[in-house]
Amino acid sequence: MNNDLGFNVNVEDIMVKKVITVDKDETVDKAVNRMNEHGIGCLIVVSEGIAVGILTERDLLKRVLAKAKDPRETKVHEVMTQPLIYVSPDMDIDKAKAVMSRFRIKKLPVIDSEGHLVGLITVTDIANSLERMLRKLDENLDFAT
Q: ∠74-80-85 over CA atoms, to 5°?
A: 170
Residues sharing a CB contact under 8 Å with residue 79, sequence separation 6 or more, in sequence order: 28, 55, 59, 60, 63, 64, 69
Is pLDDT above 60 for 2?
Answer: no
CA separation for the pair 15, 93 (Å, rounded): 10
Q: 145 pLDDT exceeds 80?
A: no
- State residue 143's pLDDT score: 59
CATH of the domain at 99: 3.10.580.10
Q: What's residue 3's pLDDT?
A: 45
For the segment 26-84, what is each residue's pLDDT rounded down to a tens digit?
Answer: 999 999 999 999 999 999 999 999 999 999 999 999 999 999 999 999 999 999 999 99
Q: d(Cα 76, Cα 60) in Å, to the nearest integer?
A: 10
Asked if residue 44 lies in contact with residue 20, where contact means CB atoms within 8 angstroms, the answer is: yes
Is the per-residue pLDDT at 6 higher than 90? no
Q: Confirm whether 3 is domain-assigned.
A: no
The pLDDT, as a whole number, for residue 7 is: 62
Q: Is residue 125 part of a domain?
A: yes
**What is the per-residue pLDDT across 99-132, written as a single tens digit (0 to 9) for each?**
999 999 999 999 999 999 999 999 999 988 877 7
Residue 6 falls inside a structural domain? no
Cα 113 from Cα 128, distance rounded (Å): 26
Domain assignment of residue 87, yes or no: yes
Q: Is residue 107 part of a domain?
A: yes
Number of domains making up the chain: 1
For residue 4, is it within any domain? no
Structural domain for 21, as ranges:
11-144
**Predicted pLDDT at 144:** 58
